[in-house]
A and B are shown apart, each in its own frame.
Chain A
Amino acid sequence: ETGVTQSPTHLIKTRGQQVTLRCSSQSGHNTVSWYQQALGQGPQFIFQYYREEENGRGNFPPRFSGLQFPNYSSELNVNALELDDSALYLCASSGGLDSYNEQFFGPGTRLTVL
């Protein structure tokens, strides 16, 4: 059983650029959530995908968007990057909307915006 994987591990972009981050969910999991973690803060919920549909969204602007694919892997896209978008981006998978035991987190992608 493979865990949650994310790519790339590190990324440097400049203001105004666009970025795509990728996440492969744990085997058998159909729900993926994305979180942003700024330095010294707890993770903040961006949005969640369940069976390829967005199922919930946190307080993030529309330039944060996502996709979930039939194999339940997922992408996070951020347009018009701002300096404050510099953060660790975490992906978490779970076995479904009724699964309340655990969300399994990946190691994250460290995004730096210059």
Chain B
Amino acid sequence: DAKTTQPPSMDCAEGRAANLPCNHSTISGNEYVYWYRQIHSQGPQYIIHGLKNNETNEMASLIITEDRKSSTLILPHATLRDTAVYYCIVRVAGNSGYALNFGKGTSLLVTP
């Protein structure tokens, strides 16, 4: 699985959009980009995933660059409950064995 690079920490004001970047310059053509988050003392929670098209669900939007070497997770209206560590992971979907290779992630602090 391709390695990802994320900033260690970011701040965002409540109500504003939080844009979390991720670099995955060695991503292969069949590798998906996944985002999980982990709120303090809880298990990780799936947010969204995509291959090459932009994706949106009720939690967030995922923007993947055309060359697929980077992506951005967007939380459109951050709330205090979005304070968490956000992990960007790339892997082959449907591959036998489903290990998620978490890095250190980005610690997002949403402030009032």
Please give, as numbers and ranges, the residues of chain A lying within 8 Å of B32 by CB-CB distance: 100
Q: Contact: A101 with B104, CB < 8 Å?
A: no
| Mask of B85-112 contacts with A, CB within 8 angstroms, 1/0 | 1010000011111111111110000000
Q: Contact: A103 with B46, CB < 8 Å?
A: yes
Complex-state Cα separation, A97 to B92, whole angstroms? 12
Number of A-B contacts (CB under 8 A): 68
Q: Contact: A105 with B45, CB < 8 Å?
A: yes
Q: Contact: A56 with B94, CB < 8 Å?
A: no
Q: With contacts A41-B104, A42-B87, A43-B102 known, is A97 near B96, CB below 8 A?
A: yes
Q: Which residue from A35, A97, A104 sits with its C-beta under 8 Å from B97?
A: A97
Interface set, chain A 85-110, CB cutoff 8 A to B:
90, 92, 94, 97-108
Interface set, chain A 4-51, CB cutoff 8 A to B:
4, 31, 33, 35, 40-45, 48
Q: Contact: A42 with B43, CB < 8 Å?
A: no
Q: Looking across the interface, which residue of chain A has its beta carbon closest to that of B43? A: A105
Q: With contacts A92-B43, A105-B45, A108-B43 known, is A42 near B104, CB below 8 A?
A: yes
Q: With contacts A41-B104, A42-B103, A42-B104 known, is A102 near B98, CB below 8 A?
A: no
List chain A positions with a Cβ less than 8 A from chain B: 4, 31, 33, 35, 40-45, 48, 55-56, 58, 90, 92, 94, 97-108
B21 at the interface (CB under 8 A from A): no
Q: Contact: A105 with B104, CB < 8 Å?
A: no
Q: Contact: B44 with A44, CB < 8 Å?
A: no
A-B contact pairs, 20 of them (CB 8 A): A33-B99, A35-B102, A42-B87, A43-B100, A55-B96, A58-B99, A92-B44, A94-B98, A97-B95, A100-B94, A100-B98, A101-B49, A102-B46, A103-B46, A103-B98, A104-B46, A105-B43, A105-B45, A107-B41, A107-B43
